Amino acid sequence: MTSTSSQRSRRDRPLRIGCASGFWGDSEAGAAQLVRGGQIDYLVFDYLAEITMSLLARARAKSPEAGYTPDFVKVISKLAPEIQAQGIRVVANAGGVNPKACASALAAALQNQGLSMHIAVVEGDDLSGQVAALRSEDTREMFTQEPMPADFLSVNAYLGAQPIAAALDAGAQVVITGRVVDSAVTLAPLVHEFGWSWSDWDKLATGSLAGHVIECGTQCTGGIFTDWHRVPGWDNMGFPIAECDPDGASFILTKPAGTGGLVEPATVAEQIVYEIADPRRYLLPDVTCDFSQVRLAQDGPDRVRVSGAAGTPAPSTYKVSATWNDGWRLLGTLMIGGSQAAEKARRVGEAILKRCTRLLGERDMPGFSETSLEVLGSEATYGPHTRTAHAREVVLKLAAKHPQREALELLAREFAPSATSMAQGITGFAAGRPSPSPVVRLFSFLIAEDRVKPRIELDGRAVSFEPAQVNRETTPAADTSPAAAAPPAASGSTTRVPLLRLAYGRSGDKGDTANVGIVARSEAAYQELRRVLTAQAVQDYFAHVTQGPVRRYELPGFQALNFVLEKALGGGGVASLRYDPQGKAFAQMLLDLEVDVTPSVLDTLP
């Protein structure tokens, strides 16, 4: 059955969609806040990251009834009477690698309360059955061109919104999916309710942007905002609500009344640039989005209108995220206090690693395949940009990789002896020894869209589904947008200021690639940033961590620049030994960069 939502319009008033989770482990308070105070029509959850899938795959390997996020079942079963009374529908990727088990657990929890809901399951993202065929085709990692590893923990395609919308069409009150793109849980209700066509590219782009903005929970309502001092109520942060218009031209980003947080163009802008690459070609299974001309306007207290998203046909391939085990890792910390604490910490760390390398050799075991020593508190992550020369209290972080768990257990045992044989002032053993954990690496590749077959069940019965037949982009379209003229070189005197004076920033990750979005505080500041903040300047600043090229993209619609740093995270995720393996602090680091600007620009800043 092809979704009937593409054939007729069903709703002529705005739809309010609240997102209660930005990751597995987010606050359980979000769902209750939105249900009880958000006046929402849909409640959506985003739980899954690449590493989360591997953790869930390992859980299912131990128990066939595991492999989903149990938090979801707990939250929904508790709120079910209120959700039913208000007619709220729920969409979540809580199924992980076992959506049916998640649905069964929720149904059982509801039955225990004398309740029932129509629960749909979307599957088909698990491609582990195609690994042999893909290996025979010499499938390569899309970024590094490495061949497939011997075994995978998980192999999942990023599905789009079509099967979710079809499940809603079939009458589902709750839709539980496996791996889908984060924005799909928001786009699907919009298509279902408004009857948008799957070839209404601009509408699909607007709906996908709404999903992208709210998918990380409170990150768009003032959470992790650069100007943190202006954000009230961290103890009761408002979870986001996308109030979407039927015409698909814009939406309002807001939050429940009386909650903490801050919704203004800058908080929304930071989230738009979060974890994207080329903003003119943000690739999704349902649409290729262009966010470069997006406009943001205050539309009342804690309300921002977002408009200007454009779309073109989706690619003819789906992205697949696979994970695999590559040995073991250990990360442990010690606190060291007193005069010359940083110098003592470095010597302690070097001595522990040297001792363990010697002990491994005595056991006829190879040395560590990789090690990392960071002295936190001495601004070690800043590399040559450190400004702290005389810290008296630091944390030594040691990490290492090895093919054998036993080697890392030896390292864990050698942390404590440093307190009696090395520097004075070593402490921090109350939590006990660190434990080795598997190194989980990401292997991403593309697969033809017609090789991915989504499946839907509603209350345990199959729902017929065929994807809508729409044009797809078989080859990337040439960039025909005119190149923006470079601002003229500064004339006359200049003033040196930290980038923070001119801009907001937000950074994130995709595998081993980091992105840093910089949003100007004024139009004049944006033009100045275009002049002084080149890709080369950013590459030079992060030379101590970035091994690949840096690319710069412009978003003139809301005066932002996006920098993509390749090979910048030491492997990324739990494959990295760094204390910041996801580049979360990169934007804050870059905002300390001092730039020479025309003095008059400072008069334009708010």
Q: What angle do CA 228, 504, 268 make, to 5 degrees?
A: 80
Is residue 423 domain-shared with residue 354, that is, in the same domain? Answer: yes
Look at residue 458 and tell me if it is in a domain. no
Look at residue 260 and tell me if it is in a domain. yes
**pLDDT interval class at 81 (50, 70, 90):** very high
Give the mean pLDDT of 55-65: 89
Q: How many domains are contained in the chain?
A: 3
Give per-residue pLDDT as tens, 11-24.
789 999 999 999 99
Is residue 339 domain-shared with residue 413, that is, in the same domain? Answer: yes
Is residue 364 domain-shared with residue 273, that is, in the same domain? Answer: no
pLDDT at 479 over 60: no
**pLDDT interval class at 4 (50, 70, 90):** very low
What pLDDT sits at residue 476? Answer: 60
CA-closest candidate to residue 284, choices 181, 203, 141, 211 = 181
pLDDT at 5 over 70: no
pLDDT at 6 over 60: no
Is residue 94 domain-shared with residue 199, that is, in the same domain? Answer: yes
Do residues 595 and 532 touch, judged by C-beta distance below 8 A? yes
Is residue 73 domain-shared with residue 169, that is, in the same domain? Answer: yes
What pLDDT sits at residue 530? Answer: 96
**pLDDT interval class at 440 (50, 70, 90):** confident
Using the Cα atoms of residue 172, residue 178, residue 182 and residue 184 in order, give the sign of their dihedral.
negative
Rounded CA gap, 164 and 173, in Å? 11
Is residue 81 domain-shared with residue 220, that is, in the same domain? Answer: yes
Is residue 104 domain-shared with residue 210, that is, in the same domain? Answer: yes
Q: Within 13 A of 125's CA, how many CA atoms are on the CB side?
A: 32
Give per-residue pLDDT as tens, 557-574.
999 999 999 999 999 888
Is residue 92 domain-shared with residue 233, that is, in the same domain? Answer: yes
* Boundary-marking domain end, from 292, 317, 342: 317
Which pTM value belongs to this model? 0.94
Is residue 300 domain-shared with residue 174, that is, in the same domain? Answer: yes
Rounded CA gap, 222 and 187, in Å? 23
Give per-residue pLDDT as tens, 126-149.
999 999 999 999 999 999 999 999
What pLDDT sits at residue 12? Answer: 83
Do residues 262 and 227 touch, judged by C-beta distance below 8 A? no
Mean pLDDT across the chain, nearest whole number? 94
Do residues 122 and 175 touch, judged by C-beta distance below 8 A? yes
What are 333's strand-pairing partners? Answer: 397
Give the mean pLDDT of 285-302: 98
Look at residue 481 and tell me if it is in a domain. no
Q: What single letter denotes the amino acid at residue 539? A: Q
What pLDDT sits at residue 388? Answer: 76
What pLDDT sits at residue 2? Answer: 43
Do residues 463 and 167 touch, judged by C-beta distance below 8 A? yes
Give per-residue pLDDT as tens, 497-540.
999 999 999 999 988 999 999 999 999 999 999 999 999 999 99
Is residue 107 domain-shared with residue 65, that is, in the same domain? Answer: yes
Is residue 309 domain-shared with residue 354, that is, in the same domain? Answer: no
Look at residue 111 and tell me if it is in a domain. yes
Is residue 299 domain-shared with residue 408, that is, in the same domain? Answer: no
Look at residue 444 and tell me if it is in a domain. no
Give the mean pLDDT of 27-46: 97
Q: Which domain holds residue 554?
A: 495-604
Give per-residue pLDDT as tens, 68-79.
999 999 999 999
